[in-house]
Amino acid sequence: MSISWFSVIFVDIAGSLLMIILSFMCMNVAVKLRRKDLTDVMWVYLLWFSLALTVFAVSRSAGHLIKQLLLFSGNREVWMVLRPYSGAINTIAFIVAAAVTFFSDQIWKINLQTLKDKRELQKAHGELLFLNENLEKRVAQRTEALMRAAEQKMQMEKNMAQTEKLAAIGELSAGVAHEINNPLGVILGYNQLLLREAEKGTEQHGDLKTIEKHVKHVRTIVSDLLNFSRNSRTKRGAADIHDIADEVIGFIRTHMGAGDIEVKRDYDRNLPELPLDRDKIKQVFVNLLMNARHAMGGSGTLTVATAPAEGGDHALIKVSDTGTGIKAENLTRIFDPFFTTKPTGEGTGLGLSVSYGIIRNHDGDITVESTPGEGTVFTITLPLEPRKWEEK
Amino acid sequence: MPARDRIYIQKILFAAACLLAGTAAPSHATQAHGGMEGIIAHQAGHLFFMISMATFAYWLRERGATEQKGWRYIFYAALFFALWNLDVILVHLLDEQLMAVEVQKAGLDLIQKQLMGGKAAGTLNYIIKSDSRFLAKIYFLAKHDHLLCVPPMIFFYLGLRRLLADSEAETSGASS
């Protein structure tokens, strides 16, 4: 079969040139890929494969080009000498490419493991970096928490000391009050008999009235002492704190007179009923409202506010006034028994002590904030759910 | 160095050069590698390359690597390389092993002869001698083997470029 060999020679020459050019282009990209990530073994494989392909392409294509040139120029014998070398080199080159390829599966597996390890290492590195960067912040947080715990401990110790003090005073005053109460009753009884016989407007009547006034004051003190010392059982039942507050506000207005005092109510009506001893909480309100009224003199604003506490398991009751306020040095002593800033004969110094005891018995707390000249805020915290009251 | 030793070393170097040049003298102690051995080794190499490329293509597909465009190009390159090996194995088999075809120059090209100064030159007209016209045609087509080995080089290049671009995108994505 006679045939033109032109297409064979053309494809051979053009293909050989393209093979050489493309193999070097592949090598160039493979080197870049390898440099991009030296730890990726798949890029090592591709670099080796590209290298083997380049050796193969150059040896084979150069061989083919030289062959065509030599045959075309009639130097067949020269080609016959070169031919085995060209053939041997390109045979070795594609065997190397094939051999390298047979390891690619293992290389892929190794690479997957390497990449996995690398990712884990990067993750650990990131975590370490995060910890390192946040160490200072965490130390500050922990320090703050420790300081809070220390403050709480101090507060607890203070409360314990206060409770012990109250218990000791209560025990003492209970005995004293009991002994004084009976003679007082006798004195008051005889004084009233004498008052009936004494003519009004006389000096004797005035003296007897003075005796009566002071005996009644002593009786009030004794009564407060008994209230303070009486360790009566707290009888709690569900009660609306707003009803109790309204009742006491009404009582104060009716019996004591409110003057120009404006009473504001800022109630959160969503608060549920609380487990309270109604009478005792009423006594707390009486004490706080009376103190507020006294601090404001004839005019001012008295505010009673309720709200849920942060966390949602307690209720907050705030009684604030715009009165004279309490001096800083007195703030720490106002819950002490018999401490009063009122003039002699006007206060027993037991109201806030009694209130403190009642609130503590309700598993609650009472605190005070005051700015002299601006006013005072008493904050009562009471639990929404009974915790220990059934055990008491 | 004594002159005798120098001569001895020169002899060794000369023998090595002869061996490399393929003109070593017959040896009685080692196996000779003449005759068909060269073509058989070459054919075995092609077979090995073809199997490795086919295995590589199969394995890329099995591992799901072909889902990435870069590796998909390399998968095509491996398939073409396997086909190319099959093609050249056929060519070598027909003309060098089975001697089923023989290519002969059709005649001297007078113009070229004049250009080359009266020396016998190559010609573009050949005769493919074979008992089977079909085999002759197949042989002629198979001789265009670069049509099968250039495309895989292009695919391989495209695959590498794509992998490089992906790697760069990943790096810039991780750093941003």
Percentage of residues in chain A having pLDDT higher than 70: 91
Judged against a pLDDT cut of 50, whether residue A380 lies above it is answered with yes
Report ipTM for this prediction. Answer: 0.71
Provide long-range contacts, Cβ within 8 A and 24+ apart, for B108-116. B112/A72, B116/A73, B116/A74
Of the candidates B56, B147, B171, the beta carbon closest to that of A101 is on B56
Judged against a pLDDT cut of 80, whether residue B110 lies above it is answered with no
The Cα of B4 is separated from the nearest Cα of chain A by a number of Å equal to 34
Interface test with B, best of A9, A44, A95 (most B CBs within 10 A): A95
User: For residue A28, what pLDDT is reported?
Assistant: 93
CB neighbours of A298 closer than 8 A, spacing ≥ 6?
A: A259, A260, A261
CB neighbours of B146 closer than 8 A, spacing ≥ 6?
A: A11, A12, A14, A15, A16, A18, A19
The Cα of A117 is separated from the nearest Cα of chain B by a number of Å equal to 17
Listing DSSP states for A112-154 in one string gives HHHHHHHHHHHHHHHHHHHHHHHHHHHHHHHHHHHHHHHHHHH
Q: CB A50 to CB B160 under 8 A?
A: yes
Range 57-96 of B in CB contact (< 8 A) with A: 59, 63, 65
Judged against a pLDDT cut of 80, whether residue A187 lies above it is answered with yes
Judged against a pLDDT cut of 90, whether residue A249 lies above it is answered with no
Residue A65 tokens read as 């080009």
Exposure pattern of A364-388 as b/e (b: 16+ CB <10 Å)? Answer: bbbebebeeeebbbbbbbbbeebee
* Residue among A291, A354, A343, A286 at smallest CA distance from A320: A291
For chain A, counts of helices (H) and of strands (E)? 9, 8
The arithmetic mean of pLDDT across residues A205-225, rounded, is: 83
Task: For the beta carbon of residue B76, count every other beta carbon within 10 angstroms.
Answer: 19
User: For residue A72, what pLDDT is reported?
Assistant: 76
- A91-134 pLDDT, tens per residue? 888 888 888 888 877 888 888 888 888 889 999 999 888 888 88
Residues in B touching A32 (Cβ below 8 Å)? 164
Instruction: Name the DSSP letter for residue B23.
Output: -
The arithmetic mean of pLDDT across residues B69-95, rounded, is: 93
CB neighbours of A211 closer than 8 A, spacing ≥ 6?
A: A187, A191
Q: Write the single-letter amino acid at A131.
A: L
Q: Which stretch, A5-9, A225-229, B58-62, B171-175, has highest mean pLDDT? A: B58-62
Q: CB A91 to CB B106 under 8 A?
A: no
Judged against a pLDDT cut of 90, whether residue A60 lies above it is answered with no
Residues in B touching A18 (Cβ below 8 Å)? 146, 150, 153
CB neighbours of A18 closer than 8 A, spacing ≥ 6?
A: B146, B150, B153
Q: Are strands B101-105 and B125-130 parallel, antiparallel or unpaired?
A: antiparallel
Q: With contact defined as beta carbons under 8 Å apart, do A53 and A97 qualify?
A: yes
The mean predicted confidence, pLDDT, of chain A is: 83
- A262-296 pLDDT, tens per residue? 889 999 988 888 888 888 898 888 888 888 888 88
* Residue among A347, A353, A340, A331 at smallest CA distance from A170: A353
- A328-369 pLDDT, tens per residue? 888 878 887 777 777 666 666 778 888 888 888 888 899 999
Q: pLDDT-derived band of residue B17, with 50, 70 and 90 as boundaries? A: low
Residues in A touching B175 (Cβ below 8 Å)? none
**Window from A38-52, A162-176, B11-25, B139-153 with minimum mean pLDDT:** B11-25
User: For residue A124, what pLDDT is reported?
Assistant: 93
Instruction: Name the DSSP letter for residue A344.
Output: T
